Amino acid sequence: MESTGVPWPLDSLARRTYEHCLRHGRRSIEQLERALEADRHALMQAVGQLTAVGLVQHPPPGPPEGSTAAHADVEVVPPRTALYGAALSLEDAAEGLRHQAQEWDQLWRRHRDRADYVEILTEVESIDAVRQVSLQQVRHSVCGLQVGAVGSVGPAGLGTAVDSTALRPGTLLSPGFLSAIDRGVGFQVVYGVSVLRDPGQLAAVQACVALGQLARVFADVPLSIAIYDQTLAMIAVPGLAETRRHVIVVHASGFLDSLIEQFDSYWRMGIPLADAGDSVGGDGPDDQSRALLAHLNAGMTDDAIARELGVSERTVGRRVARLEERLGARSRFQLAAQAYRRGWL
């Protein structure tokens, strides 16, 4: 890829030179040397930067015939057009770099024997560093699955840190999450149903939803994954100790594509999780309904529940239908999720 030729960012002396000429008008190199207390060689480099960007007339007006550039006067031009042009050149260069990175990444994967698109991290410091950098650099979206143990909202409010011993690819309420939300990054997370059983975890998820995160819940989330801009994923796997976690970092590859497809599948199956402002009022369940919900949650069949409760299988079906209607659920999984939200289980 060819260089843009745009010397950006301007160094300190170039910025000072432009601002001085902007305030005082056309100046000679000698005048600038004295005013800015700058070395002539450094000053000529600064003027060269300004000229290349288009902030100084090129060639500078005023040098007598036969004189050198060091004797030419410096006259600046309005900044808007010049800087917009520089910005466009830099955007073109950045886009070119992204395309080049994609091409070379494909070439790398075709001609390397080992799977360089996968890294395994075992140290907490490395895991946290990759997660923080990923949140800082993400531009568009973070999506993922979260089994549970996502932390809680503590006494300090939304800035409260969650348990530092647990891996959190999509850490709730962390500074990185809040900063990304402020930048307009979209978050989509499918949580395991365990978040509905813990008031602290549920409050943390609802706080994220209130900030703009889209959240759904699913009964059986198999592992925690966070996918950043669909170009990098972090997979949490159990380590050797109960509180320790390892991370698999997956870069652009067929493996990453399959993780994205897996997330999409869980997202389609998940139940939207309302934010903390939603009302969950109403009378609680009677003992009969609570027992029925407990048996459903245990995975028992209608026939087994009927025998346990001493009623017919048809009666079990009718009671389940009434509970679904009462809680606005369209499936038994949704029924369990709504029951957890209301503290009925």
* Per-residue pLDDT tens digits for 119-141: 888 888 888 888 888 888 898 89
Q: Would you state the pLDDT for residue 183? A: 81
Domain residue ranges of the chain, discontinuous segments joined by +: 1-113, 118-272, 287-341
Does residue 66 surpass a pLDDT of 70? no
Higher pLDDT residue, 130 or 8?
Answer: 130
Are 326 and 334 in contact by the 8 Å Cβ rule? The answer is: no
Q: Is the pLDDT of residue 96 over 70?
A: yes
d(CA 26, CA 32): 10
Contacts of residue 19, Cβ cutoff 8 Å, sequence gap at least 6: none
Residue 84 pLDDT class (50, 70, 90 cuts): confident
Report whether pLDDT(224) > 60: yes
pLDDT of amino acid 214 = 87
Cα separation values, 155 from 18, 150, 158, 159, 207, Å: 50, 16, 9, 10, 13
Measured on CA atoms in the order 76, 81, 87, 91, is the torsion positive or negative?
A: negative
Q: What is the pLDDT of residue 241?
A: 54
Query: Mean pLDDT lowest for which of 110-119, 169-178, 251-260?
Result: 169-178
According to the model, what pLDDT value does residue 71 have? 56
Decide whether 1-113 matches 287-341 in CATH topology: yes
Confirm or reject CATH 3.30.870.10 for domain 118-272, answering yes or no: yes
CA nearest neighbour of 77 among 98, 58, 49: 58
Architecture of the structural domain at 287-341: Orthogonal Bundle (1.10)
Split at pLDDT 50, 70, 90, the class of 173 is low
Alpha-carbon span 216 to 192, nearest angstrom:
9
pLDDT band at 144 (very low <50, low <70, confident <90, very high): very high
1-113: CATH topology is Arc Repressor Mutant, subunit A (1.10.10)
Whole-Å CA distances, 146 to 128, 185, 285: 17, 18, 29
Write out the H or E segment, with its range, that includes residue 325: helix 313-327
Q: Name which residue leads in pLDDT, 103 or 71.
A: 103
The yes-or-no verdict on residue 300 having pLDDT over 70 is yes
User: With a threshold of 0.75, does the pTM exceed it?
Assistant: no
Stretch 46-70: mean pLDDT: 67
How much of the chain exceeds pLDDT 70, in percent? 77
Q: Nearest to residue 319, comparing CAs of 285, 345, 289, 287?
A: 289
More confident residue, 173 or 93: 93
CA dihedral 301→307→308→314, nearest 10 degrees, is 60
Q: Considering the chain, what is the average pLDDT of its residues? A: 77
**Worst-scoring range by mean pLDDT, 161-165, 188-192, 237-241?**
161-165
